[in-house]
Structure 1
Amino acid sequence: MTGTDRAIIEKVIVHKVGNPSRGEELKLSQNPLTLNDDLVKSMLSKYFLGAFNENDRYHFTHLNDIELNEVYNYATHIFEKPDDFLAYSALIAQFLYSKSTHVKVKEGELYVALFDKIWIEEDELQAIGIFKSESKETFLKVFPHGTSYEVVQEEGVNINKLDKGCLILRKEKENGYVCLALDATNKNNEAQYWIKDFLQLESIVDSYHSTDDYLTLCKQFITEEFPSKFEVSKSDQIDLMNRSMEYFKTEEKFNIEQFAENVINHEDVIDSFKDFKSRYESSKDIALEDDFDIHLSAVKKQNKNFKSVLKLDNNFIINIHSRRDLMEKGIDEATGHQYYKFYYDEEK
Structure 2
Amino acid sequence: MISFYEAFLAELAIHRIGNKSQDEFYVLSDQSLHIQDNLLKNLLLQYFLSPYQKVNEIYRFTHPNDDLNLNEVYHFAAAIFEDGSKFHEHSQQLAKYLYEVSGHPKIKSGELYVAYFENVQIEGELLDAIGIFKSETKETYLKVYPEQDGFNLSYEEDAINITKLDKGCLIFNTDKEEGFKVAVIDQTNRSAEAVYWKDEFLKLKVRNDNYNQTNNVLGVYKSFVTEKLDEEFEMTKADKIDLLNKSMKYFKEKESFDLDEFANEVIANEDGIESFKNFKKSYEEEFDTAIPDSFDINTAAVKKQARVFKSIIKLDRNFHIYIHGDKELIEKGFDEDKSMNYYKVYFKEEA
- Which of 226, 230, 234 is the aligned partner of 1:227? 230
Query: Are 1:206 and 2:219 counterparts?
Result: no
| Aligned residue type for 2:60 | H
Give 1:101-112 correspondences, 5 Å limit.
101-102=103-104, 105-112=107-114
- 2:129 is matched with 127
Aligned 8 A contact 1:102 1:191 in 2 = no
Aligned 8 A contact 2:4 2:119 in 1 = no
Per-residue deviation, residues 316-337 of structure 1 (Å, max 9, x unmatched): 3333333322221111111221
Distance change in 2, residues 1:69/1:265 (3 Å): same
Following superposition, the deviation at residue 100 of structure 1 comes to 3.5
Per-residue deviation, residues 256-284 of structure 1 (Å, max 9, x unmatched): 11111111122222111111111100111
| Aligned residue type for 1:11 | E
- Which of 78, 81, 89 is the aligned partner of 1:79? 81
3-state SS of the aligned residue for 2:303? Answer: helix
- 2:344 is matched with 341
Pick which of 174-183 and 239-248 moved more.
174-183
Per-residue deviation, residues 215-242 of structure 1 (Å, max 9, x unmatched): 2212222222122332223333222222
Pick which of 154-163 and 44-53 moved more.
154-163
Q: Percent identity?
A: 47
Aligned 8 A contact 1:60 1:177 in 2 = yes
- 2:61 is matched with 60
Give 1:1-348 correspondences, 5 Å limit.
1=1, 3-21=3-21, 26-33=26-33, 35-52=35-52, 56-64=57-65, 65-102=67-104, 105-120=107-122, 123-135=125-137, 140-151=142-153, 156-184=159-187, 191-348=194-351
Where structure 2 has 5 or more consecutive residues not aligned to the other structure, the ranges are none
For residues 342 and 25 of structure 1, what CA distance do their matches in structure 2 show?
68
Distance change in 2, residues 1:321/1:116 (3 Å): same
Query: Structure 2-normalised TM-score?
Result: 0.86
Following superposition, the deviation at residue 115 of structure 1 comes to 1.7
Pick which of 322-331 and 161-170 moved more.
161-170
3-state SS of the aligned residue for 2:194? Answer: coil
Pick which of 211-220 and 273-282 moved more.
211-220
For residues 303 and 190 of structure 2, what CA distance do their matches in structure 1 show?
19
Matched residues, number? 348
Where structure 1 has 5 or more consecutive residues not aligned to the other structure, the ranges are none
Per-residue deviation, residues 80-128 of structure 1 (Å, max 9, x unmatched): 3333323322322232233344577554433210122334466553321
3-state SS of the aligned residue for 1:180? Answer: strand
| Aligned residue type for 2:86 | D
3-state SS of the aligned residue for 1:92? Answer: helix
| Aligned residue type for 2:271 | D
Structure 1 outlier segments of 4+, above 6 Å: 186-190
Following superposition, the deviation at residue 38 of structure 1 comes to 0.7
Aligned 8 A contact 1:253 1:294 in 2 = yes
Following superposition, the deviation at residue 293 of structure 1 comes to 0.9
Query: Structure 1-normalised TM-score?
Result: 0.87
Aligned 8 A contact 2:107 2:193 in 1 = no
